[in-house]
Amino acid sequence: MNSIWRNTTLLALSQGLMVSTISLIMTCSALVGQALATDKSLSTLPVAVMFITTMLISMPASFFMAKIGHKFGFMLASIIGFLGGGLSTYAIIQQNFWLFVAGIGLIGLFNGFGNYFRFVAADSVEVSQKSKAISFVMVGGLAAAFIGPNLAHIAKNWIGNAEFAGSYALTMLIYLLIFTTLGFLKLPKAEAEQKDKASAARPLREIVKQPLFIVAVLCAMLGYGVMSLVMTATPLAMHHHAHAFSDTSFVIEWHFLGMFAPSFFTGYLIREWGLKTILWLGVLMGFACVGINLIGHTIWHFWLALVLLGISWNFLFIGGTSLLTETYHPNERAKTQAINDFLVFSTVALSSLSAGYLQHQFGWRMVNVGVLPILGLIMLSLFWLSFQKSNAVTTAS
């Protein structure tokens, strides 16, 4: 058991370092993109490419690590992340926007592997300890709320006239730390997978037509999309309203805190208040975030709005994921989760890319007005679900 929980601790540290890099990138990538891109509407393209590469590699990464082992796969991915950090640093020094996009894309490849940290932790412990292991790994995300934005701020001027090159140089150190940390993993040998009989599984088109599936995907997909769009545009909006970068890093820091801190009690609230209540709270907090953004531009408006945005994401994403588990049988898990993740991260990538265009062409107000119909669609789906008969798949796991 000591060895098992040592693995979980190492995975939690790796998770924290990975999310630290993500929060660093979310804090300053749009500003770097704006400085390097000739077409300023492409300022959020690097972030969008990060999410696109994460989406594209997630399924191949799973199959790849099933063959060669998770430890070796994670360590190989950390080398790719190191190269991404180095290329991003070089691109900023050379003032080359497309090299910068490529560097962030390599970091996205690492993230596609790193997203399996929590699942490996869960698979390393007894069934009764799985939720505890996942929660423990999530502590890493909470620490990253403070690490990433502060690293971006501290190192932004370390390298000559290349603003933020020092910040990206630090990501290389982070990936070296991840590589070293993962080297101490001692994972149990994977047991041979039991193949489900194809005849026992329903066609995917039958699964996706279920009301529960539709609402689950809409909540997770659109909730994540709204969060990504508003968060990615926030540094640009704060820069436009003459806020110092230290203020921006402070706001993003608290946003990540709002995203991850509720994870420790979201599961409890779902059990006590019900899943639909949590989803409703998530969408209402999204509306509250937009309302605050529309009435003022002080640092405290940005701070409160982004904290609420983080909690909104937490409730909608975790709630939607929980609802998804009620829509499939065990032998339908892989394809159901795959289509869900594809839709979610496709939306996140589109939102990240749209953020720069909307902010540059129409301004902060229209960014926020633009997400109102999306939040309205989530609300309508919850209304619709309340009139549907319960049709959860009782054998889902």
Helices (H) and strands (E) in the chain, counts: 15, 0
- The answer as to whether 193 is a domain residue is no
**Together in a domain, 25 and 107:** yes
pLDDT band at residue 394 under the 50/70/90 scheme: very low
In the listed set 124, 156, 185, which residue is the last one of a domain according to the structure?
A: 185
Tens digits of residue pLDDT in 77-128 = 999 999 999 999 999 999 999 999 999 999 999 998 987 786 677 667 665 5
- The answer as to whether 138 is a domain residue is yes
**Together in a domain, 181 and 210:** no
- The answer as to whether 195 is a domain residue is no
**Together in a domain, 212 and 358:** yes
Among candidates 122, 105, 234, 237, which has minimal Cα distance to 187?
122
Tens digits of residue pLDDT in 309-342 = 999 998 998 888 778 878 878 677 667 777 887 7
Tens digits of residue pLDDT in 24-71 = 988 888 889 989 998 888 888 898 899 889 888 877 887 788 778 889
Q: Which residues contact 23 (CB under 8 A, 6 or more apart)?
A: 144, 145, 147, 148, 149, 252, 253, 256
The CATH number of residue 369's host domain is 1.20.1250.20
Distances (CA, A) of 378 to 276, 305, 307, 375: 12, 19, 20, 5
**Together in a domain, 269 and 384:** yes
Nearest-angstrom CA–CA distance, 273 and 276: 8
**Together in a domain, 300 and 369:** yes
**Together in a domain, 138 and 245:** no
- The answer as to whether 192 is a domain residue is no
Among candidates 270, 276, 257, which has minimal Cα distance to 142?
257
Averaged pLDDT score across all residues of the chain: 85
Tens digits of residue pLDDT in 196-255 = 444 477 888 999 999 999 999 999 999 999 999 999 899 889 998 999 988 988 898 899
Nearest-angstrom CA–CA distance, 89 and 103: 8
Q: What is the pLDDT of residue 110?
A: 96
**Together in a domain, 60 and 124:** yes
% pLDDT > 90, the chain: 43
Q: What is the pLDDT of residue 269?
A: 83
- The answer as to whether 5 is a domain residue is yes
**Together in a domain, 387 and 256:** yes
Q: What is the pLDDT of residue 397?
A: 43
| Of 156-160, 238-242, 281-285, 296-300, minimum mean pLDDT range | 156-160
**Together in a domain, 172 and 36:** yes
Distances (CA, A) of 140 to 29, 85, 147, 390: 22, 20, 10, 36
Q: Which two tokens stand for residue 381?
A: 């789906």
Query: Cβ distance 55 to 122 under 8 Å?
Result: no
Q: What is the pLDDT of residue 66?
A: 73
**Together in a domain, 164 and 242:** no
**Together in a domain, 163 and 227:** no
- The answer as to whether 339 is a domain residue is yes
Number of domains present in the structure of the chain: 2
In the listed set 185, 213, 230, which residue is the last one of a domain according to the structure?
A: 185
Query: Cβ distance 34 to 137 under 8 Å?
Result: no
In the listed set 185, 216, 246, which residue is the last one of a domain according to the structure?
A: 185
pLDDT band at residue 278 under the 50/70/90 scheme: very high
Q: What is the pLDDT of residue 167?
A: 93
- The answer as to whether 212 is a domain residue is yes
Q: What is the pLDDT of residue 48?
A: 84
**Together in a domain, 181 and 208:** no
Range of the domain at 311: 204-397
% pLDDT > 70, the chain: 88
- The answer as to whether 362 is a domain residue is yes
